[in-house]
Chains A and B, each alone.
Chain A
Amino acid sequence: NAGVTQTPKFQVLKTGQSMTLQCAQDMNHNSMYWYRQDPGMGLRLIYYSASEGTTDKGEVPNGYNVSRLNKREFSLRLESAAPSQTSVYFCASRDSLNQPQHFGDGTRLSIL
């Protein structure tokens, strides 16, 4: 069972470059999420998609865009990367309201 798959696992960018992080789930879940995790800051929600065709901002959306391509896939785009966006990015999905989220393995992103 693949669950939630994130690509790439590691990436180094230069300031100003753009990049798309990919996430796909094979559990037929309705909702998908993007988080960033920084030391001492916990998991912070960037964007989420409660269902196919909808997206909403989370706590820290500035500098990011998302696309819910279909029910399986939810991508996160950095249009002009900044060093402050150096972080570990996690994608998660869940089936329905008030159910637990299942996480991918994460993407470790460094911006120089």
Chain B
Amino acid sequence: QKEVEQNSGPLSVPEGAIASLNCTYSDRGSQSFFWYRQYSGKSPELIMSIYSNGDKEDGRFTAQLNKASQYVSLLIRDSQPSDSATYLCASANQAGTALIFGKGTTLSVSS
């Protein structure tokens, strides 16, 4: 059974700090990776997609991928209380037909 592992948290950071969220995956054949944000009682919302080794930046968010280490991370700069949510990491299966989700990391940003 292919898996995606995340620390459940909670991860607590002060407003304005950098939040670092990490994820490992077991399927070496995975080619695409995604970070979703989920507020309590709401549906998952796509934040970032990453397909190649290295960094990908979008505003305050940076996704990092290291396929050799099977490791994906999400950095949130200048964290805001509105960033408080559960962050889900997902990788595509080798065929690319479905996503495997981690259980999520809960982030709490205090003002």
Residues on A lying within 8 angstroms of B by beta carbon are 31, 33, 35, 40-45, 48, 50, 56, 58-59, 90, 97-106
Contacts and interface: CB of A to CB of B under 8 A. Distances in A.
Contacts of A50: 97
B97 A101 contact: no
Nearest to A90: B43
Interface of B: 1, 8, 31-32, 34, 42-46, 49, 51, 88, 92, 95-104
B34 A100 contact: yes
Contacts of A102: 46
Nearest to A96: B96
B31 A98 contact: yes
A33 B100 CA distance: 12
Contact of A90 (B34, B44, B49): B44
A103 B43 contact: yes
Contacts, number: 52
A90 B88 CA distance: 14
Task: Classify the interface of chain B: helix, strand, loop or mixed.
Answer: loop
Contacts of A45: 98-100
Given A42-B104, A106-B43, A100 B98 contact: no
A40 B6 CA distance: 12
B81 to A, nearest CB: 23
Contacts of B97: 31, 48, 50, 56, 97
A42 B103 contact: yes
30 contacts: A31-B97, A41-B103, A42-B101, A42-B102, A42-B103, A42-B104, A43-B44, A43-B101, A44-B101, A48-B97, A48-B98, A50-B97, A58-B98, A59-B1, A90-B43, A97-B96, A97-B97, A98-B31, A98-B51, A98-B92, A98-B96, A99-B32, A99-B49, A101-B34, A101-B46, A103-B44, A103-B45, A105-B42, A105-B43, A106-B43
